[in-house]
Structure 1
Amino acid sequence: MKNKSIGIILLAAGASNRLGRPKQLLEFEGKSLLEKAIKWAKLSLATHFVVVLGANADEIRKKIDQNGCSIIVNVDWPSGMGSSMKKGLKHLTDLHQVDGVLLMLCDQPYANADVLNALIQTYWESEKGIIASRYQNTLGVPALFDKKYFGEMLNLKSSEGAKKIILSHSDDTEAIDFPLGAIDIDTEEDYEKLKNQPLN
């Protein structure tokens, strides 16, 4: 049903330890990875979105356009991605009535508005409570969760990710193919490959 309201939680709290500098600020196609992700979230069919920062939050805030953004900082980011997801979900649900939330990461450079909208439209059109991306023989984010899963999301351990919920409810999960979802940036080598082999 197209009247179902979707909120996006953009997770960008990690310290990028393997990279050695904030991956959120890496330049790609003229913008930082975080700015590109924010752009795609704004262009999507979602009605609300929040950016969750953590490590290097002050530096990152100074270097991105915050217009039209709801940005929060998770001081507990070292405990794991689950803590940032929960903080983002609580922020969204405290302020807005949303029927579902879409989780996205700032280091998946090809998770553009078309991908996000395919997830949202599949959610609207299907009877499934979870819509996940399929790549490299697995299911993962970006992924959309109906509000009936909000309780489970909030009960995850801080070190756990939403994939646990996806795998626990395969009967209520619809997948969309997103092979470029396998491309994320964790190391300098990953970043060099991205810059040298643009795929769009």
Structure 2
Amino acid sequence: MALTTDTKTRQRPVAGLVLAAGGGRRLGGRPKALLPHRGRTLLEHATTALRTAGCAPVHAVLGAGAAEVRAAPPDEVVLVDNPDWARGMGSSLRAGLNSLAGVDVSAVAVLLVDQPRIGAPAVARVLAAHRSGAELAAAVYGKHRGHPVLFARGHWPRITELATGDQGARAYLRAHAAELTLVECGDIAAPDDIDTPEDLALLEP
């Protein structure tokens, strides 16, 4: 049965969550959270995008390079350690949602740390879909679904149960495709990942 959220609930804050635990194996073991982009780290870029779009609070899940990130943490961000980060994105999503369990928010918007061409405008569009009634929303780029992804609070328990390996919420969203609002963001963002040394060309000094 579809979950519903009333107007008053949708006006509560929306949390932001950055999944930033990856170890950058194909980048020679360089933690993605610490890669430089436009004078700051990718983690700072992602958390700033969420805050600028209106998310509060913002949590970031750390794994590889956690000690280095904590040595110079981003502003206004709650850092969450995921000791199981090497098992894949699913464990980081679970850690992030669990860290928000006691926080009074109506939903969470999720970004991946390694997508520098996704900024505040794309996050704001997805948040607007939630304010208009969407329980589940995701940015799309042409025909391809991507991030940010938004989950209203009522969906968190089941997402947490299903998040395994590198799947994150993919299986849950597939099962609830009829409830998922797709938000076109291809005109304001691009979902390019920083996965290989060749991808480092996407980063700007």
Q: Is TM-score (shorter-chain normalized) higher than 0.5? A: yes
Instruction: Tell me the CA shift for residue 193 of structure 1.
Output: 4.1
The one of 102, 116, 135 aligned to 1:109? 116
Please identify, of 138-147 and 73-82, the stretch whose mean Cα deviation from structure 2 is larger: 138-147
Are positions 1:174 and 2:181 aligned together?
Answer: yes
| In structure 1, distance between residues paired with 2:190 and 2:170 | 14
- Structure 2 counterpart of 1:23, from 19, 29, 32: 32
1:91 counterpart letter in structure 2: S
1:8 has 2:16 as partner: yes
- Counterparts of residues 34-53 of structure 1 (less than 5 Å): 34-53=43-62
Percent identical among aligned pairs is 31
The 1:193/1:99 distance shift into structure 2, 3 A limit, reads: closer
2:110 is aligned with 1:82: no
Give unmatched runs, 5+ long, in structure 1: none
SS of 2:100's partner is helix
1:4–1:124 contact (8 Å) kept in structure 2:
no
Alignment length (residue pairs): 193
Alpha-carbon contact 1:49-1:92 (below 8 Å) kept: no
Tell me the SS of whatever aligns to 1:110.
coil
Which deviates more from structure 2 when the two are superposed, residues 176-185 or residues 11-20? Answer: 176-185
1:143 aligns with 2:149: yes
Q: Cα deviations across residues 78-101 of structure 1 (Å, max 9, x unaligned)?
A: 11111111111111112x122111
- Partner Cα separation in structure 1 for residue 163 and residue 130 of structure 2: 26
Secondary structure class of the residue paired with 2:17? strand
Distance 1:128 1:193, change over 3 A: closer
Q: Secondary structure at the match of 2:139?
A: strand
Deviation at residue 24 of structure 1 after TM alignment: 1.6
> TM-score, structure 1 length as denominator?
0.89
The 5 A counterparts of 1:189-200 are 189-195=198-204
> Distance in 2 between the 1:92 and 1:193 partners?
32
Question: Closer, same or farther in 2 for the Cα pair 1:173/1:157, shift >3 Å?
Answer: closer
Q: CA deviation at 1:183?
A: 0.9
1:133–1:176 CA contact under 8 A, matched in 2: yes
